[in-house]
Amino acid sequence: MKKIAVLTSGGDAPGMNAAIRAVVRYGIYAGMDVYGVERGYMGLIEGNIAPMTMRSVSDIIQRGGTMLKTARCPEFVTKEGQQKAIGKLKALGVEGLIVIGGDGSFMGAKALSEQGFPAIGIPGTIDNDLAYTDFTLGFDTACNTILDAINKIRDTMTSHDRVSIIEVMGRRCGDLALYAGLGGGAEVIVVPEHNLDIDRICERLQAAKSRGKLSGIVVLAEGAGHAHELADEILKRDASFSIRSSVLGHLQRGGSPSMKDRYLGTCFGVHAVKLLEKGVGNRIVGIKDNKVFDMDIVEGCAMKKEFNIELYNMASVVAR
Ligand code: ADP
Ligand code: F6P
């Protein structure tokens, strides 16, 4: 292929800019024309597609978010929308598209592939909810952002002998809560994949208190409940606790990408360009056992993520 395009779609994630930079610079190095699409699939349908240069991606590797902006685009879920998008790409002679996004965006890339337009997916979402790859772009940075918040909250909780409920992102996948909860030494981690009812949460907090813990941290994935409601429910069962609750929200999506996310973004971007350079489409790029790889997009998108119950149990034992 001699003409390719790249876009970012869905929730933004730190590391997306590193991937964009690698796609543009390696693509130009390989003798390709590289186009950038603004605002995801919406930009594709609207024809917001412009050539990129080596200088277009200067000074972005250290920045969170996405220089190409992103958007959600219901129209692209329709065949008509997809056909419009393919028409815009073909009008410019673009032969392949790199999509940086999460599971929804990959559904769009799969749709393009099924309509005969080669697409490569790069996993970009802080949720880490794509089963085929060990890690997605943004997950490591978001975990470190949450850890920074847990450390700050722990300072004041220990000063007041309080319990803090900290709500983190992750609608269907609890990896942010699990990994940041483990790293933050949370006494209780609540995720959508593992039902922990409120009575059990209370029992765990009471057991921690009986072991001499005068303060505690509960990390709650948004897909498993809401921090303020959980705090009220715990107090209804045991008014002896002093509880505060925090919802971290969209600060988890920002921040300068960690080394790991800059590394993954760069490797994923180069790998994606090399596939299109060989005329290979309809693949998704990932990392497995520290090795960057690619697999069929239909097969990869069909994989179901398994919850790491061993890690979950380890985290709760070592936080006692
Ligand atoms: P993420 O990629 O972060 O999961 P979304 O789920 O919002 O984000 O998906 C981003 C975009 O991908 C949607 O706005 C839509 O344009 C496109 N998309 C999502 N699902 C499909 C689908 N089944 N078919 C085609 N396009 C889709
Ligand atoms: O998919 C990533 C994510 O950050 C989720 O964890 C979160 O629930 C959602 O996006 C928020 O979406 P929006 O930015 O559209 O509010």
Residues 51-83 have pLDDT tens digits of 999 999 999 999 999 999 999 999 999 999 999
**246 and 288 in one domain?**
no
**269 and 194 in one domain?**
no
> Tell me, what's the pLDDT at 286?
98
- Say yes or no: CB of residue 138 within 6 Å of ligand 1: no
Mutation probe of ligand 1 site: the residue of 45, 77, 115, 305 with most atoms within 8 A of C-beta = 77
Find out whether 150 and 251 touch, Cβ atoms under 8 Å.
Answer: no
**270 and 145 in one domain?**
no
**237 and 146 in one domain?**
yes
Q: Is residue 315 part of a domain?
A: no
Q: In this structure, which ligand is nearest to the CA of 74?
A: 1
Q: Is residue 312 part of a domain?
A: no
C-alpha of residue 126 to centroid of ligand 2, in Å: 9
**275 and 249 in one domain?**
no
Q: Is residue 311 part of a domain?
A: no
Residue closest by Cα to atom 10 of ligand 2: 11
**190 and 84 in one domain?**
no
C-alpha of residue 121 to centroid of ligand 2, in Å: 19
**266 and 220 in one domain?**
no
Number of domains in the chain: 2
- Say yes or no: CB of residue 66 within 6 Å of ligand 1: no
**23 and 131 in one domain?**
yes
Cα–Cα distance measured from residue 218 to residue 233, given in angstroms and rounded to the nearest whole number = 14
Residue closest by Cα to atom 23 of ligand 1: 107
Find out whether 215 and 133 touch, Cβ atoms under 8 Å.
Answer: no
C-alpha of residue 9 to centroid of ligand 1, in Å: 7
**33-37/243-247 β-pairing:** unpaired
At how many degrees (to 10) do helices 259-277 and 139-160 cross? 160
Show the domain range for 272: 3-138+257-302
- Say yes or no: CB of residue 114 within 6 Å of ligand 1: no
Q: Report which DSSP code applies to 78.
A: S
Give the residue numbers annotated as catalytic, written as ranges. Answer: 127
The torsion of the CA quartet 129, 135, 141, 143, rounded to 10 degrees, works out to: 60
Mutation probe of ligand 1 site: the residue of 12, 98, 106, 107 with most atoms within 8 A of C-beta = 107
Question: H or E segment at 276?
Answer: helix 259-277
Half-sphere exposure of 276 (CA within 13 A, CB side): 36
C-alpha of residue 170 to centroid of ligand 1, in Å: 16
C-alpha of residue 148 to centroid of ligand 1, in Å: 30
Which domain-ending residue is among 195, 223, 253? Answer: 253
**120 and 16 in one domain?**
yes
Q: Is residue 314 part of a domain?
A: no
Residues with CB under 6 A from ligand 2: 11, 102, 125-127, 169-171, 222, 253
Which domain-ending residue is among 231, 253, 275? Answer: 253
Cα–Cα distance measured from residue 57 to residue 18, given in angstroms and rounded to the nearest whole number = 9
Q: In this structure, which ligand is nearest to the CA of 107?
A: 1
Domain with 74 in it: what CATH number?
Answer: 3.40.50.450
Model confidence pLDDT, tens digit, residues 79-131:
999 999 999 999 999 999 999 999 999 999 999 999 999 999 999 999 999 99
Cα–Cα distance measured from residue 68 to residue 43, given in angstroms and rounded to the nearest whole number = 10
Domain with 194 in it: what CATH number?
Answer: 3.40.50.460
**283 and 148 in one domain?**
no
Q: Is residue 183 part of a domain?
A: yes
> Tell me, what's the pLDDT at 234?
97
Q: Is residue 318 part of a domain?
A: no
**272 and 203 in one domain?**
no
- Say yes or no: CB of residue 73 within 6 Å of ligand 1: yes
| Residue 229 CB-density burial (10 A; 0-12 exposed, 13-18 middle, 19+ buried) | middle
N-term to C-term CA, the chain: 56
> Tell me, what's the pLDDT at 35?
98
**243-247/283-288 β-pairing:** unpaired
Q: Can you give the pLDDT of all 320 residues of the chain as single tens digits?
A: 999 999 999 999 999 999 999 999 999 999 999 999 999 999 999 999 999 999 999 999 999 999 999 999 999 999 999 999 999 999 999 999 999 999 999 999 999 999 999 999 999 999 999 999 999 999 999 999 999 999 999 999 999 999 999 999 999 999 999 999 999 999 999 999 998 899 999 999 999 999 999 999 999 999 999 999 999 999 999 999 999 999 999 999 999 999 999 999 999 999 999 999 999 999 999 999 999 999 999 999 999 999 999 999 999 999 98
> Tell me, what's the pLDDT at 195?
86
| Residue 104 CB-density burial (10 A; 0-12 exposed, 13-18 middle, 19+ buried) | middle
Q: List, in sequence order, every beta strand (DSSP E) within 104-209.
A: 119-123, 163-168, 188-190
pTM: 0.97
User: What does the block give as tokens for 272?
Assistant: 């994606």
C-alpha of residue 193 to centroid of ligand 1, in Å: 22
**119 and 30 in one domain?**
yes
